[in-house]
Amino acid sequence: MQQKPNDLLEIARQYCALIESWDEAHRMPLTQLNELLPRLHAAMAAVDSVQEAGPDGSGIDLDQRFELFSRLHRLLGDLDAYWMEYDVTPDRQEMSGSLADDLTDIYCELRDGLDLVERQDDPRRTLGRWRDGFCKHWGQHVVDAERHLYALSARDRLY
């Protein structure tokens, strides 16, 4: 099944808008993220693998990425850390998964692609670039974030 560029672009815009609008004055959008991430995952799985990948935009600098991560980490508080499959110690100091890190990496990839599209880049090339990155790196962040949000939901900790 081939993904329509506009469908995936709209999901990406929704994700980025949610992350950009999230601050102390708003309720944590974990419920919305719990609904949006599976849609993003399904849309990425449907992207045609023969899409030509566009150039790597790399529009987000490391300082901006760290500022976003720090803000999300602060907003998430004790909901940020989670166990990875290789974590073996019982104290929370050894938890190595971070929802803030997952959300930051997903955001940076999507925002960079959206910025390329806005500069008149062919959306199909952006989808191809997203697919390459999804398969090699940020798809794992989507899966990890989905898993952690599912666990929080099962414990009634999404609000």
Per-residue pLDDT reduced to its tens digit, 34-77: 999 999 999 999 887 655 665 555 667 899 999 999 999 999 99
Q: Which residues of 124-158 are buried (b: 16+ CB within 10 A; e: fewer)?
A: bbbbbbbbbbbeeebbebbebbbbbbeebeeeeeb
CATH, domain range 5-154: 1.20.120.1550
What pLDDT is attached to residue 16?
A: 97
Token pair listed for 13 = 């815009």
What pLDDT is attached to residue 1?
A: 47
The whole model's pTM is what? 0.87
φ/ψ of residue 43, rounded to 5? -65, -40
Helix runs in the chain, H state only: 5-21, 30-45, 62-76, 99-118, 123-133, 139-154
Residue-range domain boundaries for the chain: 5-154
Question: Do residues 85 and 144 lie in contact, with contact meaning Cβ atoms separated by under 8 Å?
Answer: no
Amino acid letter for position 18: L
How do the pLDDT tens digits run along the chain, 159 residues long? 455 668 999 999 999 999 999 987 776 789 999 999 999 999 999 887 655 665 555 667 899 999 999 999 999 999 999 877 654 555 555 557 899 999 999 999 999 999 999 887 678 888 889 999 999 999 999 999 999 999 999 999 987
**Contacts for 74 with CB less than 8 Å, ≥ 6 apart:** none
